[in-house]
Amino acid sequence: MRSSSPGGTVPASGANTYSTTQRTTQRITPDSGPGHDGAVAVAYPGAVSKRETEVLALVGAQLSNAEIAAHLHLSVRTVENHVSSLLRKCGVADRRELGRLARQDSSEPGRITGLPAPLTTFIGRAAERERLLAALRAARLVTLVGPGGVGKTRLAIETAGGAQGSFPGGGAFVDLVPVGEAYVAQAVAAALGVTERPDQHLHEAIAERLGDGGALLILDNCEHVIDAVARFAEQTLRRCPGTRILATSRERLGVPGERALPLAPFPPASATAAPVPLTSHAELLFLDRATAADPGFTADPATLTLLCARLDGMPLAIELAAARVPALGADGLFAALDDHLRLLAGGRGADERHRSLRAVIGWSHELLDEEERALFRRLAVFAGPFDLDAVVAVTPGLARSAAADVLGRLADKSLLAVHRRSGAARWRLLETVRAYAAERLDQAGETDAARRLHLEWAAGVASALEAHLETADRWRDGFDAVADDLRAALAWAPDVPGHLPYRLAGALGHLTYARRFLGEALGHYLTAARLAPTALEAVADLRAAADCTSAIGDVGRQPLEMLLEAVGRARETGDGDLTAIALASVVSAACRHHVEFEEGVPHAAKAELLAEARAAGDPANPVVAAHLAAAAAWLANEHAADDHPADVHAADDHPETETEAETEAEAAVEAAVEAARTAGDPVLVCAALDIATMAALRRERRRQACHVTSRRLSLLESLPRHVPAACPEIVDTLRMAFYGFLGVGDLPAALAVARQAMDDDLVGGSYLAAAHLITPLVLTGRFDEALSLETEVWEGWRRTGRPFGPQLGPPIGALSLAHGLRGDGDAARLWRSRALNPPHRRRYSYFMTFADARLALHHGRFEQAAELVEAALVGSPTAATAPYREAVAAELAVAAGLPGAAGRLAATGAGENDWAAACLARARGRLRKDENDLSAAVALWERIDARFERACTLLLLPGRADEGASELAELGCVPPKT
């Protein structure tokens, strides 16, 4: 069977496949698109259109095809065509490389994303900035410590902005003011533009993004989340040796290796009545800010000196006071402020400067009119920046125009900072000012009412964002702008069942799943289930939570427990159909993922659950019928496996005799697929087809399984990307398709699926996704591309600190093979030691035994051939790589002249695998010295694009040996000794 290549076009067979395209390098400059403010250097042989330039910019910004389509108002199919064209023109193999090209010149090297652009002049602090730079050169964690209002954030921004070229890995500025204890990693991830992937948690994705390239993270305002920041910093610095962290906080983090730099207020100038030139930074700051507020401002230098001394040199206090200059003048300001400070500040002590700042804020507050005070204290409920709509929502009775006017007045008085995002104005309270506003809100007895309004606003905003997930243009930006406030509103909400908290928790689950904060989404869905006003709503959220676990790599006991809880809540509703679906889902999950359980659910217990489901539900309901049929099919196949385990190989044309249980199982699978089609839900159809895939694999019908998986691949486009229900099928389909095509030796299709998975916004982008590319790349002879991934994969694994999983066994063995075929014995031995080093070594070394045998065959090392042949035959015969091991073992036996080699060759079947079929044909040619067998092998290698193996086979054909030698030289391989 020749399978089509999903997600792309399979290269044509024949010699033309192996030609090298010469490309020229040009430059294109995007006219628009997020993340691009410079030229993009790309290699391509043809012109790139303006529309393709826009698409390229959005690929570089890591948007999916659907999001690009929404942004540019195109169809998804049109975007796919543009991406395919760009792949061809840019001369790259996949979307991942295309994105790298798009980003490589999109900004200056070492750019720190999110670094605020200050709107005012930076005054003084030259010595402090030099000390901070020196500390960053000497230490990997530097904490700038000082009281609120002393200017820590501004100094960190100025220092980082001037030092960007010193950090080739770039970095990010992360404002932690609005961030809760549990969301520090999310804030960093959003700033860096990374998301979670299955089997890769957010901390690991961040570590992979930072790498070892010398990055800088600025974590600003850490004091309220200091424990979480300390844990994050310690983890990150351990995993990313090239990364440095600059933190600002009112106290040090307490992490080993931390260097704390205290930041003091500006030192006061000597107080004198004589006219002197302004020399102190405090005076210069006051003059700059006062002049900005009143361009005609003048003052006696001695008055400014006394005024700044009275303000203790605190930059924020100076700025707040300077904002009052237009109304009071310097002399009036000094008189009013001096009286107020004497009254509120009291005696002088260690905390006097901080108390003085609070006194200045309080004095500024007393100068507000009642309308300004009322709005000022209401703004304390916002954790982060807010817009006019949000302000109106928490201040009932205040007209929109009046709210805008008051916001402007508060900003003029420096009590609000103004930000602009995509042209829209947003405001925020500085943290010290917000803390004061919160106190005033509490003293007014308005905290509970304000938080209730804030919760209503948050639930409404979250629901609106949720409703536009599929269609909104760049919805992600809208979510990121309010995410911290949505989380804060939920944290403040009563932890009891209620409509608003439930609505917000459910919407946050949906939004964070779509935003690919997968672990967070799971938590929100569980919160929603706990807060659900009714059992009916709780069932939906528990099922969503169970589906989320597929996204974080847990398909074992945890989701089963959630589904069992959903069964209990479904029973409470008295809804028979809902109960039947919940029960059937438990049966299907327990069968489908049984290998994940330390102790499986007994077959009899599952049969009882299915019987209860059948009794509860109406089989005339198509959705109920589909779930019941799926559970029945899983159980029937489990029974067939117990009744007739597949412990022997089936000849290609002579299937084993079917038992009655197997016949019933096949009928049950067909019924499940048909019931799912009738229900009309592509998620149910995809899940039902997985039963058929597993049934075929159990009986070693690889081609049949591959055919079914191809049908699942064709459904991927119709699966919703933003809801957890589709997650298990997206993750499983791509995984099963890859191993399915690898299992039948269809290497172009396996490689295409690996590239498709790498580009997928849910499963792609991680070192694990990159690792899946390596095996088909090596088996097809694309050694340069495979070896270009080795550092990324190994360092990604090392940085994340993950245990060695079975998914890394084949790629690591393939890297050893590639190095060995190129004659680099040291590198081959290094990767071999890595493949054989993990826990449960035997399980992970199966593919390595194939590599060992193939290298022995290539280099003519036959002294251990008998041992290598026996080792290659160990392992599950149903594994995707089993045919490779068995076929190369037979050929090694022939080449080494082992006793019984002919009989072993005759007894070895291809296992429905094209690579194995070609290998066995070559082995027969060696044994018989038959050019027809060798020519047949060449044709088979060409069919699956196995360039290296084709060249090795040509060497055995007298008339084509030169062609084979030339091909091997082009691949950088040493010639074989056989």
pLDDT digits (tens, 9 = 90+) for 518-551: 999 999 999 999 999 999 999 999 999 999 987 7
- Residue 31's CB is within 10 A of a number of other CB atoms, namely 10
pLDDT at residue 25 in the model? 29
pLDDT at residue 350 greater than cutoff 60: no
pLDDT in tens, 640-675: 877 654 443 443 443 445 678 888 889 999 999 999
pLDDT at residue 43 in the model? 39
For residue 823, the number of C-alpha atoms closer than 13 Å in the C-beta half-sphere is 9
DSSP for residue 262? E
Three-class SS state of 274:
coil
CATH 3.20.10.10 fits 370-445, yes or no: no
What is the pLDDT averaged over residues 105-110? Answer: 51
Backbone angles phi, psi at 27, to 5 degrees: -125, 140
Which of the residue ranges 333-337, 410-414, 716-720, 825-829 would you say has the lowest mean pLDDT?
333-337
Whole-angstrom CA distances from 485 to 427, 696, 877 are 13, 50, 54
What distance in Å separates the CA atoms of residue 470 and residue 571, rounded to the nearest whole number? 33
Residue with tokens 């799912």: 676
Q: Which residue has the higher pLDDT, 221 or 300?
A: 221
pLDDT at residue 150 greater than cutoff 50: yes
What is the pLDDT averaged over residues 873-887? Answer: 88
Mean pLDDT of the residues in the chain: 84
What distance in Å separates the CA atoms of residue 747 and residue 946, rounded to the nearest whole number? 8
Whole-angstrom CA distances from 375 to 439, 442, 545 are 14, 14, 39
- Judge if 15-104 and 110-322+325-347+360-366 fold alike in CATH terms: no
pLDDT at residue 421 in the model? 59
pLDDT at residue 759 in the model? 83
pLDDT in tens, 378-406: 999 999 999 999 999 999 989 999 999 99
3-state SS string for 230-253: HHHHHHHHHHCCCCEEEEEECCCC
Residue 949 binned pLDDT confidence (cut-offs 50, 70, 90): very high
Residue 962 binned pLDDT confidence (cut-offs 50, 70, 90): very high
pLDDT at residue 457 greater than cutoff 60: yes
Which of the residue ranges 66-80, 427-441, 493-507, 907-921 would you say has the lowest mean pLDDT?
66-80
What is the pLDDT averaged over residues 825-846? Answer: 75
Most confident option among 151-165, 362-376, 562-576, 656-670: 562-576
Q: Which residue has the higher pLDDT, 713 or 103?
A: 713
H/E element, 88: helix 76-90
pLDDT at residue 332 in the model? 82
Q: How far is CA 145 from the centre of its chain?
A: 32
What distance in Å separates the CA atoms of residue 737 and residue 723, rounded to the nearest whole number? 22
Q: Which residue has the higher pLDDT, 479 or 656?
A: 479
- The domain at 15-104 falls in which architecture? Orthogonal Bundle (1.10)
pLDDT at residue 454 in the model? 97
What distance in Å separates the CA atoms of residue 312 and residue 282, rounded to the nearest whole number? 9
pLDDT in tens, 37-78: 333 333 333 456 667 777 887 777 666 676 677 667 676 667
Backbone angles phi, psi at 253, to 5 degrees: -80, -30
What is the pLDDT averaged over residues 544-569? Answer: 86
CATH 3.40.50.10860 fits 110-322+325-347+360-366, yes or no: no
What proportion of the chain, given as a percentage, has pLDDT over 90?
52
What distance in Å separates the CA atoms of residue 34 and residue 30, rounded to the nearest whole number? 10
pLDDT at residue 733 greater than cutoff 80: yes
Domains of the chain, residue spans: 15-104, 110-322+325-347+360-366, 370-445, 787-971
pLDDT in tens, 202-257: 888 898 888 877 899 999 999 999 999 999 999 999 988 889 999 999 889 999 99
Q: Among residues 627, 596, 598, which one has the least CA distance to residue 610?
A: 627
pLDDT at residue 582 in the model? 96
Three-class SS state of 600:
coil
Backbone angles phi, psi at 25, to 5 degrees: -105, 130
Residues in the chain, overall count: 978
pLDDT at residue 670 in the model? 95
pLDDT at residue 364 in the model? 84
What is the pLDDT averaged over residues 770-776? Answer: 93
pLDDT at residue 293 greater than cutoff 50: yes
Q: Which residue has the higher pLDDT, 841 or 722?
A: 722
Residue 110 binned pLDDT confidence (cut-offs 50, 70, 90): low
Sheet of 171-175: strand order equals 112-113, 171-175, 216-220, 244-249, 141-145, 258-262
Angle (CA) 737-739-740 rounded to 5° is 60
The residues, ordered by sequence, that sit 6+ positions from 845 with a Cβ below 8 Å of its Cβ are 809, 813, 835, 836
The residues, ordered by sequence, that sit 6+ positions from 426 with a Cβ below 8 Å of its Cβ are 385, 386, 387, 418, 419, 420, 481
What distance in Å separates the CA atoms of residue 942 and residue 780, rounded to the nearest whole number? 10
What distance in Å separates the CA atoms of residue 845 and residue 809, rounded to the nearest whole number? 7
Bridge partners (DSSP) of residue 663 are: none
pLDDT at residue 449 in the model? 96
pLDDT at residue 10 greater than cutoff 50: no
- Among positive and negative, which fits the CA dihedral 441, 447, 449, 455? positive
pLDDT at residue 800 greater than cutoff 80: no
Angle (CA) 750-759-846 rounded to 5° is 40
Please, are residues 830 and 801 in contact by the beta-carbon 8 Å criterion?
no
The residues, ordered by sequence, that sit 6+ positions from 562 with a Cβ below 8 Å of its Cβ are 526, 542, 543, 545, 546, 549
pLDDT at residue 347 greater than cutoff 80: no
For the chain, how big is the Rg over CA atoms in Å?
A: 33
What is the pLDDT averaged over residues 360-371? Answer: 87
What distance in Å separates the CA atoms of residue 357 and residue 373, rounded to the nearest whole number? 18
pLDDT in tens, 586-632: 999 999 886 555 567 888 999 999 999 999 999 999 999 999 999 99
Residue 89 binned pLDDT confidence (cut-offs 50, 70, 90): confident
Residue with tokens 């090795």: 952
Q: Among residues 161, 106, 109, which one has the least CA distance to residue 132?
A: 161
